[in-house]
Structure 1
Amino acid sequence: MTLGTGDRVELLDLVARYALCADRRDLSGLADLFTDDGVLVLPDPPRSLGPVRTFSGRDEIIAALSPLNDVPVTSHEIVGQVLDGVTGHIACVAHHLTEREEGRPSDLVWHLRYTDTYRRLNGTWHFARRELQIDFIETRTVRRWRVA
């Protein structure tokens, strides 16, 4: 399927909205970006960095992403997007800021890739399937942070 400019813009917006919903902890809004039968496949770090845990439907997707509520600050940065028809290849850097035992903030950084399948329903693009693969993980010291 060849995408027109409007479809490409909508799909890039879909990807950006996913990141924004994650950072705002709007898990219901995030799940609404999926089709009713949408599938999210996540890794199980540190045991597995590849997509191994499958969640189907909006309720399971919300439950799967609920650990985000335990992270004080996240920042999901989209660093690359390639759309091949109804498939997307998205590169992202995900920062997860937490406080270490010694009271200093730390950033757990995931360098990751999403493989997406999109479906248009009632004139709107949604994720039909989204698989997350972590390429590598690093930990960084954070000098200061602003907790909203």
Structure 2
Amino acid sequence: MSDRIGNDTLERYEQIVKQARELVDQLTGFQFKLGDMGLEIEPMRPVGGAHEAADEVLHGCDSLAPVFDNLNTYETTTHFNGQSTVSLDGARATAESYCLAHHLSVGEDGQRTLMIAAIRYLDELVKQDGGWLFAERRLLVDWTETRPSAA
């Protein structure tokens, strides 16, 4: 077995992989932190991609209760956050983030159903008092798929 991977030693390769994982973890944490801050900003307006979303404006955290009530109807949910791009313009920024959302339901008969949604968030951000806040978050649903899920 070689002690090199590409041009690097195995030790250097492991350092690079560790740093890359740390960067991914930081990015994911950043996305969730932005999302939490976004709950305090309005309007949050879902708009359609391939599947037109209802034209609904959500005002503040309390308006999100029905969203979380709906999520709580699932046995479990998992969201894989993918690539994100951010464009800075002084104290303003725009961002686009991709996500695959998995929602598992279990019916009274024990039948498992998996709903997968490919979604994107289009965000407008502003910098205030040294921190970044959401000015607007738009949700685009590119596609969904619902299918039986094995146990």
| 2:32 is aligned with 1:16 | yes
Q: How many residues align?
A: 121
Distance, in Å, in 2 between the alignment partners of 1:38 and 1:10 is: 26
Q: Structure 2: which 5+ residue stretches go unaligned? A: 1-24
Q: Which residue of 1 aligns with 2:72?
A: 69
Please identify which structure carries the higher strand content. Answer: 1
Q: Structure 1: which 5+ residue stretches go unaligned? A: 1-8, 19-29
1:100 paired residue among 107, 114, 125: 107
Q: Cα deviation per residue 1:32-67 (whole Å; 9 max; x = unaligned)?
A: 4127442222358xxx53462211222223444432
1:106-145 alignment to 2 at 5 Å? 106-144=113-151
Distance, in Å, in 2 between the alignment partners of 1:67 and 1:97 is: 12
CA RMSD of aligned residues (A): 2.8
Moved over 4 A (4+): 9-12
TM superposition score normalised by structure 2: 0.65
Distance, in Å, in 1 between the alignment partners of 2:68 and 2:127 is: 23
Quick one: which amino acid aligns to residue 140 of structure 2?
A: Q
Distance, in Å, in 2 between the alignment partners of 1:55 and 1:131 is: 11
Q: Secondary structure at the match of 2:99?
A: strand
Per the alignment, do residues 10 and 103 of structure 1 end up closer, same or farther by CA in structure 2, a change over 3 Å counting?
closer
Percent identical among aligned pairs is: 24
Per the alignment, do residues 38 and 99 of structure 1 end up closer, same or farther by CA in structure 2, a change over 3 Å counting?
same
Per the alignment, do residues 65 and 104 of structure 1 end up closer, same or farther by CA in structure 2, a change over 3 Å counting?
same
Give the Å deviation of 1:116: 0.6
Greater C-alpha Rg: 2
Quick one: which amino acid aligns to residue 93 of structure 1?
A: L
Q: Which residue of 1 aligns with 2:86?
A: 83
Please say if residues 10 and 125 of structure 1, whose CA atoms lie closer than 8 Å, have aligned partners that are also in contact. no
1:55 paired residue among 55, 58, 75: 58
Please say if residues 38 and 58 of structure 1, whose CA atoms lie closer than 8 Å, have aligned partners that are also in contact. no
